[in-house]
Structure 1
Amino acid sequence: MTQAPAPSRQDRRRHDREIVALAVPAFGALVAEPLFVLVDSAIVGHLGTPQLAGLAVAAALLTTAVSIFVFLAYATTAAVARRVGAGDPKAAIRQGMDGIWLAMLLGAGVVAVTLPAAPWLIGLFGASDTATPYAITYLRISSFGIPAMLVVLAATGVLRGLQDTRTPLYVAIGGFGANAVLNAVLVYGAGFGIAGSAWGTVIAQCAMAAVYLVVVVRGARRHGASLRPDAAGIRASAQAGAPLLIRTLSLRAVLLIATAVAARLGDTEIAAHQIVLSLWSLTAFALDAIAIAGQALIGRCLGAGDTAGAREICRRMVQWGIASGVLLGALIVLTRPLFIPLFTGDPAVRDTLLPALIVVAVTQPVAGIVFVWDGVLMGAGDGPYLARAMLVTLAVFAPVALLVPRLGGGLTALWWTMGLMMAVRLLTLWLRTRSGRWLVTGATR
C-alpha cells in the first residue's frame, strides 16, 4: 500500500486557520449562553433569598432539559457538513430543516410535560416552602422558551455544518444583551419580580430563534430547498440523534454521581466540589470549541470523500487539544491565588479544593485529546460507538466513585476518579480513531 505523503507546512497552516476560524467564535457562543442564568441570578438575587433559591432550583432543571437535547446541534452539524463536503448545499439545508422541525416537536413535548409537572419536579429538589412558589413560577414561564432554545441548538448545528460559527456568536451576544435589558426592565421597572425575569429570558430566547430561522430560511430560498416538514427526514434526524442522547445522559449521570458522592463527604467537600466543578466546566467550554471545529471539518472532508484530509485534520486537532490542555492546566495552577478568594473565604473549603484543582490541572491535556476525538467521531457520524463507549465509561466510573466515601477518601480522591473517567474515555476513543472504522465517506453515513 502506498503511504500518503506527509502534509506540507502550507497544509498545516491552512488547517490551523480553519480550526481557529471555527473554534474561536464557537467558544464565544458557548460561553455567552450560560451568562443567561448568571444575569438572571444577579438581578433576581436582589429581590431576596427565597427568590434566588427558587431560581437556582428552576434553572438547574431548565439547564438539564436543554443540555439533554444538545444532540440536536451535534447530529445536525455532522449531517449538514457531510452534504456540504459532497457539494450539495440544497440537501445540506434540507437536512438542517429536518433537525429544526424535530427541535420544535421535542420542545412542544417538553412544555406539555413541564407545565403540569412543575410542582412535582421542584419537589424532587427538596426546595423550601418559601422558595418553592418562586421556583414553580419561574419554571412554568421559562418552559415556554424551551422550544426556542431547542430550535437555537438545531439551527446552530446547521450553521456550524455550513462552516459558519460567527453567526451563532453574534446571535448569542445579542441574546445575552437583550436578556439583561429585559430582565432589568421587567423585574424592577415593571415590578413583575421573578416572573419578569422568566419572561425576559423567554422573549430573548424566542428572538434568538427567530433570527436563526431567518438566516436558515434565506439560505433555503437561495438554494431552492424545501421548508416543509418531512416525516422521513425528521425520523432520520431522531434516529441519528438517539445515540448522542444516550452519550449525553451517560455523561450527565457521571456528573450527578460525582456531586452525590461529594455531598456524602460533608458540607466543606460539597462546597469545594461545586467550585472545582464550575472551573472544570469552564475549561470544558474551551476544549469543546475545538471539538465543534472538528465536527464541521471532519464532516466536510468525509462528505467530499477525502479520508486523507480527515486523518490529517484529526491529527492536527489532537495537537491543538494537547496544547490547549497544557495551557489550561498551567493557567489553573498559576492563577489559583487570584480566583479561589472570589469563590470562598472559608479556609477549610480552600484547603479542600486546592489539591482537587491540581488534579484538574494535571488531567487537562488528557481532557484536550478526549474532547477532540469526541468531536472527530461526532463529525464522522459515529454516534452509536460514542454511546457504547460512554456507557462503558459510566460502568467503570460509578462503582469506583461510590467506593470513595467507604474507603475514607476525600474530595481529591473523588476527582482522581474523574481523571479515571477521562482516561477510560481516552482509551475507548483512541481504539476507535486508530481503527479507521469512522472513516466512512459520502453525503450520508
Structure 2
Amino acid sequence: MIADAVVYLQRQLKRMPLWVLLQDTRSVFIKDELNSEIAKIAIPATLALMADPIASLIDTAFIGHLGPVELAAVGVAIAIFNQASKIAIFPLVSVTTSFVAEEDGATSSSSILADIELQQNSTSDNEKILLLSKPRMINLSTMTFFCQRRHVSSASSALLIGGMLGLIQAFLLIISAKPLLSYMGIKANSLMLSPAYKYLTLRSLGAPAVLLSLAMQGVFRGFKDTKTPLYAIVMGNVVNIILDPILIFVFKMRVTGAAISHVFSQYLISVVLLWKLIQQVDLLPPNIKDLQLGRFLTNGFLLLMRVIAATFCVTLAASLVARLGSTQMAAFQICLQVWLAASLLADGLAVAGQAILAGSFARKDYKSAKEMTSRVLQLGLILGLVLSFIVGVGLSFASGVFTKDIKVLQIMTLGIPFVAATQPINSLAFVFDGINYGASDFRYSAFSMASFFLSGFVVCLLLLSSHYGFVGIWVALSIFMSLRVMAGVWRIGTASGPWSFLNIC
C-alpha cells in the first residue's frame, strides 16, 4: 500500500507544471543530443558575451591606473551609455532572435516537406518507407539549400530598425550628456565632470555601430550560428585592447583614448558581421510589405517597457552610489562590472534556450520544448553555483588588478560577498528571460517587470540605501534579481500563457 501511494504521489507530482523544473535531473551531465545542441549554441554565445565585459574590465583596469577620479567618472559615463543602449539592444536582439528562428524553422520545415513530396512522387512504395526512415538524408539536401543566399524579412527589418535607433541614440546622448551626468550625481563643480563628459560623448559616436552589430548578432543567433558573431567580437575587442594602452598612455589621451579605441572596435565588429551576413542573406526586401516592422515594433515596445524598468533600477542604484562620493562609486563600478560579466555567462544558455524553443513552439513540438526548458534551467543553476565560487575567491584575491587605491579596495570588500552569492540567482534570471523570449511571451515579461518589480524595488532601494548606504544598495540589487526568478517560476508553475500545454503534456 505504501509503495502504491508513493508511486501515485510521484505520478501526481510529475503532472504538475512546476515539475518541468526538476524532471530528468540525471540527464543534465549526460552527453546526449540535447546537451550537444545546447553546447553548440551556448558555448560560442557565452564566449561572445564574455568578450565585451572582459574588454570593459580591461578598460576599467587601464583607466583605474589614471586615478580614482577618472575611474569613477568613466564608471558613471559607462553606466549611462550601457543603460541607454540596453533600452534598444535587448528588445532588438531578443525579438530578432525569436523571429528569425521562427522564420528559419518554418522555411526549413517547408523545404523538408517539399523535398519529401518531390522524392516520393518519383519512388516506389518500398523506397518511400526507406526515405522516411532516413531524415538525415533529407536534412542534407535542406542544408545545401540553406547555404545559398536567401531572403529573411525579419533580418532586413532588424537591420533597418537597428540603424535608425543607433543614429537616434547617438544624437540624444550627445546633446543631453551634461544633464544626464548631473542626474547621476556629477555636478558642475565636480572633478569627474570633464573626463566623464569627454568619454560619454565620444562613446556615443559608436552607438550606430553597436546597435547594428547587435541586430546582426540577433540574426545569426536565430540561425543558431553563434560562432560568426564570436569571431567578429573577438577581433574587435583584441583591437580595442591593443589600442587602449597606446592611446591612453603612449599618446597621453587618457579617457579620450579609451573612448576612441572602443568606438573603433565597435565599427570593426559591425563591418565584419555585415560582410558575413550578406554572403548568406539578401538584405534588400523585394517589397516594403515584406518588412515585419509592425510586428517588430509591437513586441519590441513590450520588451522596451521591461528594459526601461530594469535599466531604471540599475541606473538609480548607480546614481545613489555616486552621491556617496567618488571612492564609493569607483568600488561600485568594479563590483558591478564583475557582477554583470559573470552573470552574463548564463546568457549563453539563455540564447540557446531561446533559439531552440522558438523553433519548437513554431513546430508545436511541446515535448521538445518541455525537455529544453528543464535542461537549460538545471544547467543555469549549476553554472550559477560554479560562478559563485569562482567570483568569490577570484575577486577577493584579484581586486588589486583594477585599482591600487586602499580606500576603494576597502569598500570593495563590502560588495564582493553580494557579487558572489547572487550568481545562482542571476543565472536563473537570465535563463528564464531566454525561455520566455523563446516562447514569444513578451507581454508577460514586460508587465511583470514594469509593474510589480519597479514599484517594489524602487521603494526597497531608497529605504535600504538611506539606512545602510553602499551595503543597502547591494542588498536591494540582490532582491531585484530574486524577484525576476520568482516571476519565471510563477509563469511556468501556473502553466499560463504559452505554457498552458504543461497541463496536458
Q: TM-score of the superposition, structure 2-length normalised?
A: 0.74
* Per-residue deviation, 1:106: 1.0
Counterparts of 2:104 and 2:500, CA distance in 1 = 15
Report deviation, 1:334: 3.9
Which structure has the greater CA radius of gyration?
2
Corresponding position of 2:41? 22
Q: Which amino acid aligns with 1:84?
A: D
Superposition map of 1:259-270 within 5 A: 259-262=318-321
Instruction: Please say if 1:207 is aligned against 2:226.
Output: no
> CA–CA distance in 1 between the matches of 2:65 and 2:423?
37
Q: 1:65 aligns with which of 76, 84, 92?
A: 84
* Distance (Å, rounded) in 2 between the aligned partners of 1:261 and 1:396: 17
**Structure 2 CA distance for partners of 1:53 and 1:160, relative to 1, 3 Å:** same
Quote the residue 1:87 is aligned against: 107
1:77, CA displacement in angstroms?
Answer: 0.6
Asked if 2 retains the 8 angstrom alpha-carbon contact of 1:94 and 1:220, the reply is no
Tell whether the 8 Å contact from 1:101 to 1:229 is kept in structure 2 after alignment. Answer: no
Deviations 1:263-297 (CA, angstroms, capped at 9, x unpaired): 56777765654444333212211122211211111
Tell me if structure 1 keeps the 8 A contact 2:87–2:307.
yes
- Corresponding residue for residue 77 of structure 1: 97
**Aligned-pair Cα RMSD in Å:** 3.9
In 1, distance between residues paired with 2:256 and 2:232?
A: 24
Whole-Å separation in 2 of the counterparts to 1:267 and 1:210:
37
Instruction: Determine which of 294, 300, 307 is the counterpart of 1:241.
Output: 300
- Check 1:203–1:269 CA distance in 2 against 1; reply closer, same or farther (3 A cut): closer
Per-residue CA deviation, residues 2-23 of structure 1 (Å, 9 max, x unaligned), is x99x879699721111222212
* Partner of residue 97, structure 1: 156
Paired residue type of 1:401: L
Deviates more, 1:29-38 or 1:142-151: 29-38
What CA deviation, in whole Å up to 9, does each residue of 1:336-368 have, x standing for no partner? 542345456778766765565434444433333
1:165 is aligned to 2:226: yes
Matched, 1:404 2:458: no
2:357 match: 298
Structure 2 gaps of 5+ residues are 1-13, 16-22, 109-145
Corresponding residue of 2:389: 330
How much does 1:418 deviate?
Answer: 2.9
Work out the number of aligned pairs and report it.
438
Q: 1:413, 1:102 → 2: CA distance?
A: 39
Which residue type is aligned with residue 22 of structure 1? I
Q: CA deviation at 1:36?
A: 4.5
Q: Is residue 284 from structure 1 mapped to residue 343 from structure 2 by the alignment?
A: yes
Give unmatched runs, 5+ long, in structure 1: none
TM-superposed CA distance for 1:175, in Å, is: 0.6
Task: Report the 3-state secondary structure (helix = DSSP H, G, I; strand = E; otherwise coil) of the residue aligned with 1:100.
Answer: helix
Equivalent position of 1:149 in the other structure: 210
Q: In structure 2, what residue type is equivalent to 1:398?
A: V
Paired residues of 1:93 and 1:216 also in contact (CA < 8 A) = no
Q: Is the 8 A contact 1:84 1:303 kept in 2?
A: no
Q: Cα distance, 1:429 vs. partner?
A: 1.2
State the partner residue of 2:167: 108
Identify which range, 203-212 or 177-186, moves more after superposition: 177-186
1:371 Cα offset (Å): 1.8
Q: Which moves more between the two structures, 106-115 or 360-369?
A: 360-369
Q: Distance in 1 between matches of 2:424 and 2:384?
A: 4
Asked if the contact 1:76/1:157 (under 8 Å) is kept, the reply is: yes
Q: Equivalent pairs: percent with the same residue? A: 28
> 2:385 corresponds to which letter in structure 1?
V
Q: In the TM superposition, what whole-angstrom CA distance separates every residue of 1:128-152 from its partner, at most 9, and x where no partner exists?
A: 5766455444444433321111001
2:453 — aligned with what? Answer: 393
Measure, in 1, the Cα distance between the counterparts of 2:403 and 2:198. Answer: 30
Q: Paired residue for 1:216?
A: 277
Query: Contact (CA 8 Å) 1:264, 1:405: kept in 2 or not?
Result: no
* Residue of 438, 442, 445 corresponding to 2:498: 438
SS in 1 for 2:351: helix
Deviations for 1:109-135, whole angstroms, at most 9, x for unmatched residues?
223333444444445433657664554
Pairing partner for 1:251 from 300, 310, 318 = 310
Does structure 2 retain, via aligned residues, the 8 Å contact 1:217–1:227? no
- How far apart in 1 are the matches of 2:59 and 2:327? 27
414-423 or 177-186, which moves further after superposition? 177-186
Distance 1:427 1:185, change over 3 A: closer
Is contact 1:141–1:198 with CA below 8 Å preserved after alignment? yes
Tell me what 1:416 maps to. Answer: 475
Alpha-carbon contact 2:199-2:256 (below 8 Å) kept: yes
Q: For 1:368, what is the secondary structure of its paired residue?
A: helix
**8 A Cα contact 2:95 2:437, kept in partner:** yes
Counterpart of 1:162, as a letter, is: F
3-state secondary structure, aligned to 2:208: helix
Task: Check conservation: 1:40, 1:197, Cα contact below 8 A.
Answer: yes
Contact kept? 1:161, 1:296, Cα under 8 Å: yes
